[in-house]
Structure 1
Amino acid sequence: MRPLLTTKDIDILTAMLDRSSGDPAFLRLLRDKLNGATVHFPDDIPSDVVTLNSRVCYSVNGRQLGPHIIVQIEGDDLPPFALSIHAMRGLALLGLTVGEVRTIEYADGRHDVLAVEELIFQPEADRRFRDGRPFGRPAIRPAALEATSRGGLSRATPLPPGRRPVEIDEDSNGDDPGPQAP
């Protein structure tokens, strides 16, 4: 499956690639992630995707690890609960969904199999929740219409709570009169 990344994640990973001259295995993983990514605005990223500052439980070769927070900073002095995207495992987890498995290969030929077990916290989903928008749904979504057997439109799906239906004047011959006052 293609990694799902936010526009912010893409900007950060692109900057990392521009400045990176290190481990060839890390660079290959970074390029693969950037080249294969499906990009979402932060408000549209599904709530089961590991993003920056997410708190995640995962396994490596069947051994449970975490919870860890996926962080942007790098260094050897990170707290034990932090996993940097400048490390192979942190970069590999970024953009994966709960239940997804990814194999990474190190420069020395070793392999690790990573699996996302649980996503405890995702900042984008938390922001949507605090703003009163539903989990796992984009902030803006197109109206879903059901086609009849005659090829016409029969009815719209139910509106979300707090939304009003739009009234259409059937006699307008397609001429849009513009916005109407409530």
Structure 2
Amino acid sequence: MSTTPTAPTLYLTELDVTRLERLASRGGVPHMLELLDDLLARATIVEPREIPRDIVTMNSRFTCLLEGEAAPREWTLVYPDAADYDAGCISVLSPAGSSLLGVHAGQTVQFQQPDGRAQQIAVKEITYQPEAHGQFTL
């Protein structure tokens, strides 16, 4: 009996992969290589100019709704040094951030909170994506 591989569930740009690989190579984050391997195993990697405009990429701003909350939030997916939860800047290395990278607007993802509870986030709209605005530099 043959099995067909599961289709990738997310999109990543080549630039985001390069940036994440650089971050992983610096060390200091024990789970970074494992996170990157997991993302790459599920990803379709495309040129920045080819990424659909409804995908969460690094430095994208988006509206999302957390399970159990009535009001949506405006978040930006950032690298760890720019993270500021109170300002809506979510680190790609956080459980929520790593689950959001590469997903489509309209998609709901689940992640495990540090206390072990499962949490769902629905991405409602991409309000800014760097690639959609011609920002393709490292």
TM-score (norm. length: structure 2): 0.75
1:118 to 116, 125, 132: 125
Counterparts of residues 29-40 of structure 1 (less than 5 Å)? 29-40=35-46
TM-score (norm. length: structure 1): 0.59
Task: From the superposition, tell whether residues 30 and 66 of structure 1 become closer, same or farther in structure 2 (CA, over 3 Å).
Answer: farther
Structure 1 counterpart of 2:4: none
Counterparts of residues 122-141 of structure 1 (less than 5 Å)? 122-127=129-134
Structure 1 counterpart of 2:105: 98
How far apart are 1:91 and its partner, in Å?
Answer: 1.8
Larger Rg: 1
How far apart are 1:71 and its partner, in Å?
Answer: 1.3
Unaligned runs of 5+ in 1: 129-182
Q: Quick one: which amino acid aligns to residue 62 of structure 2?
A: V
Measured in 1, the distance between the counterparts of 2:118 and 2:23 equals 23
Work out the number of aligned pairs and report it: 125
- C-alpha RMSD of matched pairs (Å): 2.5
Measured in 2, the distance between the counterparts of 1:109 and 1:77 equals 22
Counterparts of residues 15-164 of structure 1 (less than 5 Å)? 15-18=22-25, 19=27, 20-22=29-31, 29-63=35-69, 64-74=71-81, 80-106=87-113, 108-127=115-134
Structure with the higher fraction of residues in helix conformation? 2
Question: Alignment identity in percent?
Answer: 31
Unaligned runs of 5+ in 2: 1-7
How far apart are 1:13 and its partner, in Å?
Answer: 2.3
Task: From the superposition, tell whether residues 111 and 29 of structure 1 become closer, same or farther in structure 2 (CA, over 3 Å).
Answer: farther
Q: Quick one: which amino acid aligns to residue 40 of structure 1?
A: V
Structure 2 counterpart of 1:161: none
The Cα offsets for residues 69-104 of structure 1, whole Å up to 9 and x where unpaired, read as 211133665661312212221221110001111111
Task: From the superposition, tell whether residues 34 and 106 of structure 1 become closer, same or farther in structure 2 (CA, over 3 Å).
Answer: farther
Work out whether residues 57 and 119 of structure 1, in 8 Å CA contact, stay in contact via their aligned partners in 2.
yes
Work out whether residues 17 and 31 of structure 1, in 8 Å CA contact, stay in contact via their aligned partners in 2.
no
Work out whether residues 57 and 101 of structure 2, in 8 Å CA contact, stay in contact via their aligned partners in 1.
yes
Local SS of the residue matching 1:74:
helix
Local SS of the residue matching 2:134:
helix
User: Which protein has greater RCO, CA pairs closer than 8 Å, 6+ apart?
Assistant: 2
The Cα offsets for residues 8-66 of structure 1, whole Å up to 9 and x where unpaired, read as 111122234442215xxx76544321221100111110000011111101122142442
Measured in 1, the distance between the counterparts of 2:83 and 2:134 equals 30
